[in-house]
């Protein structure tokens, strides 16, 4: 597992987390990610090793689906459970808007320091 919670370089006063989870919810790569929770089909929560300083940070999600899986699919922060200082819940959907599990889910979060 890569190093967690320590940012390289001088003068950066922000928080950074990124991670990659496989289809069964295992953390395969990451920085400042303590754990992954698989909340069921299309729902995954990334929990940060070091919490952000506030809940005001940006979360970007992406997903990798099988090549033959069809139309566009999307990833979004879940509005019913908005990001907390210590975690972010993402939802992945298919073209029809139904929750769907991708092969991999990626997250990047950047915000105010720890």
pLDDT digits (tens, 9 = 90+) for 39-80: 999 999 999 999 988 888 889 998 887 766 555 577 877 667
Residue 12 within any structural domain of the chain: no
Please check whether residue 8 lies inside any domain of the structure: no
Q: What is the mean pLDDT of residues 5-28?
A: 76
Question: Looking at the 3D structure of the chain, how many domains does it have?
Answer: 1
pTM over 0.85: no
Identify the pLDDT of residue 2.
Answer: 45
Q: Which domain holds residue 100?
A: 17-112
The rounded mean pLDDT for the chain is 82
Higher pLDDT, 13 or 47: 47
- Percent of the chain scored above 90 by pLDDT? 37
Judge whether 104 and 21 are in contact, CB under 8 Å: yes
Instruction: State the Cα torsion 43-41-36-81 to the nearest 10°.
Output: 20
Query: Considering the domain boundaries, does residue 75 fall inside one?
Result: yes
36 in a domain, yes or no?
yes
Residue 46 lies in a domain: yes
Q: Is residue 58 domain-resident?
A: yes
Structural domain includes residue 35: yes
Helices H / strands E in the chain, number of each: 0, 8
80 lies in a domain? yes
What is the predicted pLDDT for the residue at 1? 43
């Amino acid at each position: 597992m890569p190093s967690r919670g320590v940012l390289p370089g001088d003068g950066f006063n922000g928080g950074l987390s990124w991670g990659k989870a496989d289809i069964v919810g295992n953390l395969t790569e990451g920085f400042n990610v303590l754990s992954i929770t698989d909340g069921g089909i299309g729902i995954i929560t990334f929990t940060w090793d070091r919490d952000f300083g506030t809940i005001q940070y940006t979360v970007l999600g992406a997903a990798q689906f099988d090549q033959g899986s069809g139309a566009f699919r999307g990833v979004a922060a879940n509005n019913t459970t908005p990001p907390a200082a210590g975690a972010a819940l993402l939802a992945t959907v298919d073209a029809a808007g139904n929750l769907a599990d991708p092969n991999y889910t990626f997250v990047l979060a950047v915000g105010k320091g720890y």
